A and B are shown apart, each in its own frame.
Chain A
Amino acid sequence: MRSFIGCAGLLSVVIGCANDPVYIPAPMNLEGGVDDGTGTITEARAQLVLPINTETTDDATKRAARTAALGIDVPYVKVGDIEVSIEWTIKNLDAMDGDALVELNGANELFAYDPTLIVLSDDEEAPPTPGLDGDIPLHVPGNATIGGLFREDQLREASIDLDQMTRGNVNPFRALLTVSKNVDFFQPVSAYDPSMPDVAQVPVGDPIPREAFRQLIRVDLVFKPTRHMVLEYTVRVRDIRGIMNDLLLSAPPAELQQFDPQPFVVSPTP
């Protein structure tokens, strides 16, 4: 009986501690939907870099060995190392009903995704490049508050989509419209030239295995309300690998891995 009780207690603690999430509140709320004086309704944008510890020498050595074995760059933060979700609320500060869009973008270790920098066609009637997720019209009654969530699987999909676009040259529309969150690999293709849309992309190089998929390490939100509204969000992270800093946004910068993702730009050749 003693061993049974001991095991039950230990089991409850172990289960309870597995993958406990951490919550990163937004440093500031996003407020938009007011006239900026020129007749344009303001949008609001925010970026939140996940507080990830600097890579240990041991991790770097293992990663270098894996990169050499695969012949493919293995990132420090891979898909599956952390599971990220974003919960948000929108409060309509206006008495009138309004609509709002919440667009999810982000960055991995090397590339940042901003759809306004990706022009896939010089046709003015071509649809604009979409965000990584979201952009679903939301109706917000006057003075009301609504809530929503970007789930973990959506963030995982967004991570893989961004890697497909930036490392695999996959067309953003194709990457975003296909479900890739469970794929084991993806095949890079030749670069897409928007000025020559009829030229087919052909496979190039080796497939990228899942263990080398780059994870989003920064989440970007774009808030587009039609009325005066405020968006508040919290990023929830399950630290599977144990690389998040315990102090989160209060961590000293020296303890955090400094990433420098470059904007991913695609534009028609003049």
Chain B
Amino acid sequence: MTARMGRLVVLLGVLIALAGVADARPASSGWFAEGGLGAVAILPSHADDARPGPALSIRVGRDLFSWLSVGVSLVASSHEATVPAPPEGEWFQLYRGGGDARLGGRFDRLAIFLEGGAGLAMISSNVLGKVGVTGPGENFTIAFQVGAGFEYQLENRHYAIGAGVDAFVLPQFDAMRGLDTRLYLRYTY
């Protein structure tokens, strides 16, 4: 029994020695740009006032360390207002921009991250004024967001694709909250 155990340990050691540690897929580091497509949904308590809408996002930043990057982003989303009629079938756009930081790590081809940031948001019209989201002459608010996501490093060291989810809050817009989901392509120089 002891001899059998010994042989197993030796065999396991040999297998581990042969397998070694896989190198992470090569990936560029430094300045990067991301372009994403996705959707933004307004969360309660104003979920009934606007439908989820398509979103376009860009983010430019720099990897400071392998585990930290900073960047600036701009997100534009378009929504159908569903306030009590009239008006009916009207659309508005929500623009969010600001700075953020991203913490993460890479495991071979996959990377995961947590991110958070702050900035400004602008709404294109006062159509949500009817439900108290905006006040007279109010189009801007500060914005905060936190989120998470993952990336898949492609064969080309400059490119990665990823998915992210951010929750944001717009304090001056009656603390309206939303969820931003996106698929993106990242290019690192």
Q: Which residues of A contact B (CB under 8 A)?
A: 1-2, 5-6, 8-9, 12-13, 16-17, 20-23, 25, 87-89, 145, 147, 232-234, 236, 246-251
Contacts and interface: CB of A to CB of B under 8 A. Distances in A.
A12 B76 contact: yes
Contact of B136 (A20, A233, A247): A247
Contact of A21 (B33, B125, B136): B125
> What 3 A-B pairs come out closest when comparing CB atoms?
A87-B86, A250-B136, A246-B137
A66 to B, nearest CB: 30
Given A8-B58, A250-B137, A232 B74 contact: no
Main secondary structure of the interface of A (DSSP, over half): mixed
Interface of B: 33, 35, 56, 58, 60, 74, 76, 78, 85-88, 90, 93, 95, 124-127, 129-130, 136-137, 187
A234 B86 contact: yes
Contact of B129 (A6, A12, A23): A23
Contacts of B95: 13, 16
A22 B76 contact: no
Nearest to A249: B136
A236 B86 CA distance: 10
B56 A8 contact: yes
Given A247-B136, A250-B136, A147 B86 contact: yes
A147 B88 contact: yes
B124 A234 contact: no
Given A16-B76, A25-B130, A250-B136, 5 more contacts: A1-B33, A9-B56, A87-B88, A233-B86, A234-B86
A153 B24 CA distance: 62
